[in-house]
Amino acid sequence: MAEDGMGVAGRVESAAAAMRSLMGREGIAPPKVGMVLGSGLGPFADRLGDPFKVSCTDLPGYPRGGVEGHEGSFVFGTCEGVHVLALRGRLHHYEGHGMDVTALPIRIMGSLGVGAVILTNAAGGVSRRLAPGDFMVISDHLNLSGSNPLIGANLDGFGPRFPDMTDVYTASLRERLKGLAMRRGIRYVEGVYAMCAGPSYETPAEVRLLGIVGADAVGMSTVPEAIAAAHGGMKVIGISCIANMAAGLSGAPLSHGEVLAAAGAAGDAAAGLLRCAVLAAAGHMG
C-alpha cells in the first residue's frame, strides 16, 4: 500500500488513464520502449523526435519527487524510428517512498503497452576495470537495499507471486545491444550493479565488501524498477554511467554535484549507447 493509503494498482490505473486520454487528444502513438533517465542523463529526452512532455505533477496519484538532476516528467517521442516514453526524474526509496511506489513508472509504462524498458543510472565504480566516464551494461544485480517492491499483497494483474529473476537484464537484448554498439564503435563493459538504500554514500569498508560479493558498480536506484519490470513480463536493459569511483578507491570525497557533472559530460557518448539500446529493446518485438 502506498504511503497516502492509495493502493499501487489505483495509482497506476489513474495515471495510465490520464496518459491514454492525453495520447488520444494529442494523437500520440503508443510507446513500445520505455526509458528511465538517471542522474545527469535527463537531457537525452531533448534529443527525441517529436517530443511531448507531461509533467508528473499533472498525473493523478503520482507522488512528488525532489532530487536535483531529476526533473519529474514523462516525455513521449521517437528514437531511431521507435516510439518511446522516457521518464526524466525517477522516484527514490531514500526520499521516503516505499519500494512499491518507486516502481510506479514501470507499472504505468507497462499499462500503456511498453514491452521493454531501458533503465539508466549514474553509479560509483567498484571494480578496478571501471573508470569515471565508462559505461557498464548491467548483467545482473545485488539488491542490498533491505526491501523489495513486491512486498505485500501480490498484484495479480501485474505478475505472479514469486517471479523468476534468472534473466532480469534480458540476455537476448544484451546480445543485440553488443552487436549494434560494436558496429557503431561504442565501447562499454558488462557487470553487476549493487543497490544500497542511501542517501549516504557507502563507506570504504562497505565498498570493499561490495567488491568481495561480486559488485562492479553501486548506486541507489534501478533495482526496484528492474524487479517490477520482470514481475510484469517486460524485457530490461540496464546501463550505468560510471560517474566516480566509490569511496576509498580514489581518495577524494564524493558529492552529488560531481555525479551530475560526470553524467552530463558523457552526453554524446551516452546518447549513442542509448540509441543502440532503443533499437535492441525494440528488436524483441520483431
Polymer length in residues for the chain:
286
C-alpha to C-alpha distance for 138 and 171, rounded to whole angstroms: 10
For residue 91, what is its C-alpha cell?
A: 522516484
- Whether the upstream peptide bond of residue 199 has omega within 30° of 0, thus cis, is yes
For residue 276, what is its C-alpha cell?
A: 543502440
C-alpha to C-alpha distance for 266 and 133, rounded to whole angstroms: 6
Residues known to be catalytic? 39, 70, 92, 94-95, 122, 220-221, 244, 256
**SS3 for 255?**
coil
Residues facing residue 14 across a β-bridge: none
146, 157, 281, 158: which is closest to 231 by C-alpha?
158
Within its chain, how far is the Cα of 211 from the centroid? 22
Q: Which helix (H) or strand (E) holds 210?
A: helix 204-213
